[in-house]
Structures are given as C-alpha cells and as structure tokens.
Amino acid sequence: MTETTKTATLSFDGKTLELPMFTPTAGPDVIDIRKLYSQGHVFTYDPGFTSTASCDSTITFIDGDEGVLLHRGYPIDQLAGKSHFLEVCYLLLYGELPSAAELEKFETTITRHTMIHEQMHNFFRGFRRDAHPMAVMVGVVGAMAAFYHDSTDVSDPQQREIASHRLIAKMPTIAAMAYKYSIGQPFVYPRNDLDYAANFLHMCFSVPAEEYHVNPILSRAMDRIFTLHADHEQNASTSTVRLASSSGANPFACIAAGIACLWGPAHGGANQACLEMLREIGTPDRIPEFIERAKDKNDPFRLMGFGHRVYKNMDPRATVMKQSADEVLELLGVEDNPLLQVAKELEQIALNDPYFKEKKLFPNVDFYSGIILEAMGFPTSMFTPIFALSRTVGWVSQWKEMIADPQNKIGRPRQLYLGETARDYVDVEDR
C-alpha cells in the first residue's frame, strides 16, 4: 500500500477536508478516513462495512466483477488444479510456495499434531447426541485454550506458530469426532501414514470392525474442497476472527468465534441450503416448475447454489469443483440417488437457459461442493463443519498477519445513534 499524490475532498457545514488516498497493488484506491472525526467531528455510515477497508492485507485478493481470486498472487484455479491443500496452507501462512524440503517438514509437523488431548474426549460426551456438529466444534475449539497453555501468548511469535500448526492439524480430528459422536459410532484416531484429506475421510467413515480404504478420487475431491474454501478475504467470519483477535484474545477463542460466525446460514450454510433446495424439488420432472418460480420476481423461491454475492461473473472456484463433482459422480453413480439426479439435471438446464446466462446465475462452488459431500455420504449437518475445517488456515493466516501488524488496535466501530436523548428518571409510582 502506497500513499498517492491524490486526495479526496470532503465538504460539509462550511468545512473542507482533504483526505489522503492509498493505492493498493490491486483493486480500487482507498480513502484514509482515520482523522475524519478529529478533523471534522463526523463519522461515516456503512452498515455491513461493505465500503470500508478495515485492514491492509497481503493474503487474498478478490475481483468479483472479473471472477478473480488470488492467494498471495496465485490464481485459485491453478492452486486447486496443480497444488494440494497443505501446500496452499504453507502459502497462506508464509507468503510463498514452499521448496520440497520446506513442504516435507511442514507436512510432517501437521501430521504429528493431529491427535487431540485424550481428556478432550470428555467434552464430546457432554453434548447430546443430536447436537449440531457446529455447536460441538465451537465448544471444543474454544476449550483448546484450557489444554494448550504453551500456545496462548499472542505476543510470542513461537507460541503463535505452535498454535497455528495445532489448529490446522487438529481441526479435521475435531470435525470427524463431532460427526462420529452424532451417529453413535466410536471415535477413530488419526493415522500418520495418510495425507490430510484421506486421513479426514478415514476418521469419518472407517469403523473398528473392518478395513477401510480411502478411494483416491474421493480423497482428491475432498482436498479440493479444502483448498477452494481455504480463504476468501475479509468475509464475515474472517472479520470476526480479526475483531476478536484485536482484543488480544487467545487464538483458540478467536477461531471458535470464527466458527460461530460461519455457522450462520447466510455464510457457511450455503451448500447446506443448496441441498435442502434439491430435496424440496424432489424429482427431475419437477425442475421446470421450480425454474419458472425462480424467474418470477413475486415468488419467494430462490435457486440456491447459483450466482454469488461477490462474483458477478463465474465463480472461479466452481470450474475446478465441477471437475471433481463429475469425477465423484462417475465413480459413485447417481442412479440410486434422486437428489443427485435433480442436481445434474438442474445444472444442465441452468447452464443452457438464456435467463440464467443473462443474469449470470452460474452454478457456484457451494452447488458443486454440496453435491460432492452428499455423494460421499456426509449428512448436511456436516457441510458447515467441513467448511470450518477448510477455512481454519485462512483464519489463522489472517490472525497471524493482524497480530504482527504495528497498526493493530482493538476494533471499535462507531454507530449512528437514533435512540432517546438524555432524560430524567421517573419514580415508579409516577409512571
């Protein structure tokens, strides 16, 4: 970020303020309003902070109009097509792609930290069996601060490093245990001979009674889901992690806050909403009816999994995810799954219908990831926990960047107050 020679002129009540501007390496210029209150005694009003840059960052860049998503400058389609999740984790954490030796060391470190403290098993048993896995994850991840005291001092770079590795390594174990607990099966310990994605599938679907072999196509699809959800700039949950971090809270509490925010259906629940929509449609013969409803502005029905709030063109992650979806469905078939039949038919209609082309309502990453997870056998209640697992590295990277930023200060948004002005208390007998 460099300060430009340009300034923004703001005039009001006979005052004129000259506000400095900054030019990023990519994206629009930014007006610096930090001295707006001290110089003009006014605030800006921006619900949702959709026009406000709350920080500077070097991690992820998004251009929604052009359908661009870059991690440290690398296009997401190249990373998802040529790399794998732990390599992308290294990139997000440290800023550069690792050498072969660096990657091997990093993978070994993550693999050796996948087990959780044995006493933490008791936390899971304190929940009802029908508890949502996200509720379990919020509680268990927050409780990590009670077990790993040697990585809660955010002022110590070494402790921040250890906490980062622990969170990335243990999140698949925690998510898998939440799933196993919900279906009444015994916990499955992680295995060091499996890669990150294969290990997660093994912990979710294997049972002590028989051997379980992870299909490499499913493992690769799972790895791509992790990669494509690893980070997405200053979204709601990432901003929550940063805001919690600004107070100096320990990293486990901050990531638990991110998980809680992600739980919302407007954020992490999008692929679950997509699957619920497919269930509402029910059978392929009902698709035309719902297509017409989607085109009717007066009908509340909306096609979930099509279009994107950020991407005004094709979601750059969707192309790669479609490839994985096609591979998984070819492997597992859709003949016995009406929901997947509806998904495939709906995809083809939406890709070819002039209305959807004109509105740029293309299938997005949530549509395809939902199809993949359904085909693998995950219940919809596990979709958001898998999203949280994937996004942990993004949260951790943003947290580390913020803690190391000399401009870091506690978050304190302002407000437009519309309540009562000062008034005197009235005794109860006089009201």
Identify the active-site residue in 223, 308, 336, 353.
308
Taking every pair of Cα atoms in the chain, the longest distance, rounded to a whole number of angstroms, is 79
Residue with tokens 């309502």, as numbered in its chain: 361
Residue 308 among the catalytic residues: yes
Identify the active-site residue in 195, 223, 315, 366.
366
Residue 84 among the catalytic residues: no
- Cα distances from 223 to residues 273, 277, 418, in angstroms, run 22, 25, 48
- SS3 string, the chain, reads CEEEEEEEEEEECCEEEEEEEEECCCCCCEECCCCHHHHHCCCCCCHHHCCCCCCCCCCEEEECCCCEEEECCEEHHHHHHHCCHHHHHHHHHHCCCCCHHHHHHHHHHHHCCCCCCHHHHHHHHCCCCCCCHHHHHHHHHHHHHHCCHHHCCCCCHHHHHHHHHHHHHHHHHHHHHHHHHHCCCCCCCCCCCCCHHHHHHHHHHCECCECCCCCHHHHHHHHHHHHHCCCCCCCHHHHHHHHHHCCCCCHHHHHHHHHHHHCCCCCCCHHHHHHHHHHHHCCHHHHHHHHHHHHCCCCCCCCCCECCCCCCCCCHHHHHHHHHHHHHHHHHCCCCCHHHHHHHHHHHHHHHCHHHHHHCCCECHHHHHHHHHHHHCCCHHHHHHHHHHHHHHHHHHHHHHHHCCCCCCCCCCCCCCCCCCCCCCCCHHHC
What are the catalytic residues? 308, 366
